[in-house]
């Protein structure tokens, strides 16, 4: 006869449950003594989204063997650098977060780079490569694919709720408490390389005529040499980032 345990998922973990099963105790039948992590993923919740686990009120880890009759309460992961609702200080952000994105998130990759975050994105990456790089380079996986987040090599990751780039950027900044870590004009949108300010004379030949006329401050990627200036896209980005901060 299979064993049975009960699970309650809190907060945003309900996003992974069917509509009629949210915010209620769920019965889970199982054989043997699976790790609690495997049971939660079988229900549909990927482990990188999970924070604290209480089994019959006592803290437990992912590998805790599930036993019959227990009640498991599961809470969402919170930002590692801060408590919910608290903006981290600069000192708490000494270890900058790094991301790797799945192949469907080209727009978000550009927006994250625009905001200055170290963001790997290549259309040639498959799930296995993403998981390997994330583990080796301590990167957070961002994806719309719940299955990818269940890959056992992935330790940190977040499932994007929205399908729209701007909303996704807002989600990521809020999830990881990055409001104060935004640094426009730090990274190249094309290759993720660092950009630095350069003299106008050194990049003259790469500039459109009107840009040459109206702008005086220029930046260049140290990897691919692409030239940047604070045009209309920069203004829009500033406005957008202010909106996130106000919320
Ligand atoms: Zn570049």
What percent of the chain is predicted at pLDDT more than 90?
A: 73
What's the pLDDT at 95?
66
Indicate the range of 57-61, 71-75, 89-93, 196-200 predicted with least confidence.
89-93
Tokens 């000494």 locate to: 94
Closest CA to 230 of 114, 113, 117: 114
**Domain architecture of the chain: domains with CATH:** 3-76 (3.10.20.30), 80-185 (3.40.50)
201 Cα–ligand 1 center, Å: 19
**pLDDT over threshold 90, residue 68:** yes
Phi and psi at 223, nearest 5°, equal -100, -55
Q: pLDDT category, 93, cuts 50, 70, 90?
A: very low
Q: Kindly report, residue by residue over 96-126, the tens digit of the pLDDT.
A: 799 999 999 999 999 999 999 999 999 999 9
pLDDT tens sequence across 13-32? 999 999 999 999 999 999 99
Say whether pLDDT at 88 is over 50: no
CA 215–ligand 1 middle distance (angstroms): 20
Token digits of residue 185: 């004009």
* Spatial distance between the Cα atoms of 184 and 168, rounded to a whole number of angstroms: 17
- The predicted-structure confidence for 149-191, as pLDDT tens digits, reads as follows 999 999 999 999 999 999 999 999 989 988 888 888 899 999 9
User: What spatial distance separates the first Cα and last Cα of the chain, rounded to whole Å?
Assistant: 52
User: Which pLDDT belongs to residue 145?
Assistant: 96
CA 193 to ligand 1 center in whole angstroms:
5
Confidence of residue 64 (pLDDT cuts 50, 70, 90): very high
CA distance 94 to 232: 31
In this structure, the chain runs to a length of 247
Residue 196: its pLDDT value, please?
93
Q: How far is the CA of 204 from the centre of ligand 1 (A)?
A: 18
DSSP, res 192 = -
Q: Are 221 and 191 in contact (CB under 8 A)?
A: yes
- How many angstroms is it from 195 CA to the middle of ligand 1? 8
194 alpha carbon to ligand 1 midpoint, in Å? 7
User: Does position 80 have pLDDT exceeding 60, yes or no?
Assistant: no
Ligand 1 centroid to Cα of residue 224, in Å, is 4
Tell me the C-alpha distance between 191 and 121, whole Å.
Answer: 9
CA of 190 from ligand 1 middle (Å) equals 5
**What's the whole-number average pLDDT of the chain?**
88
Distance from C-alpha of 144 to C-alpha of 162, rounded to nearest angstrom: 8
Concatenated DSSP letters of 74-138: EEE---TTS-TTPPPPGGGGSS--EEEE-TT-HHHHHHHHHTT-EEE--TT--HHHHHHHHHHTT
- 73: helix, strand or coil: strand
Classify residue 64 by its DSSP letter. Answer: P
Average pLDDT over residues 118-144: 93
Q: How far is the CA of 243 from the centre of ligand 1 (A)?
A: 27
Query: What does the block give as tokens for 106?
Result: 């080209």
Cβ-contact 221, 188 below 8 angstroms:
yes
> How far apart are the C-alpha atoms of 223 and 220, rounded to whole Å?
9
Cα of 16 from ligand 1 centre, angstroms: 37
- For the ranges 33-42, 70-79, 88-97, 214-223, the maximum mean pLDDT occurs at 33-42
> Which one, of 169, 104, 98, 82, lies nearest residue 135 by Cα?
98
């Amino acid at each position: 006869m299979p064993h049975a345990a009960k699970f309650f998922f809190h907060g945003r973990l309900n996003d992974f449950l069917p509509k009629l099963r949210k915010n209620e105790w769920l019965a889970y039948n199982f054989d043997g003594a699976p790790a609690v992590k495997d049971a939660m993923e079988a229900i549909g919740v990927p482990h990188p989204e999970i924070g604290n686990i209480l089994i019959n009120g006592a803290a437990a880890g992912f590998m805790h063997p599930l036993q019959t009759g227990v009640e498991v309460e599961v809470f969402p992961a919170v930002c590692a650098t801060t408590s919910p609702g608290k903006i981290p200080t600069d000192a708490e952000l000494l270890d900058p977060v790094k991301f790797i994105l799945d192949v469907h998130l080209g727009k978000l990759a550009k927006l994250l780079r625009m905001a200055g975050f170290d963001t790997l994105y290549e259309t040639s990456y498959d799930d296995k490569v993403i998981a390997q790089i994330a583990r080796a380079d301590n990167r957070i996986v961002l994806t719309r694919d719940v299955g990818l987040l269940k890959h056992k090599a992935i330790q940190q990751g977040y499932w994007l709720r929205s399908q729209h780039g701007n909303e996704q950027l807002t989600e990521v900044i809020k999830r990881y408490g990055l409001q104060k870590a935004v640094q426009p004009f730090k990274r190249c949108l094309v290759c993720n390389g660092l950009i630095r300010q350069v003299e106008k004379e050194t990049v003259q030949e790469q500039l459109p005529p009107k840009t040459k006329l109206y702008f005086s401050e220029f930046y260049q990627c140290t990897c691919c040499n692409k030239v940047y200036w604070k045009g209309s896209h920069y203004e829009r980005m500033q406005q957008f980032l202010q909106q996130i901060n106000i919320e």
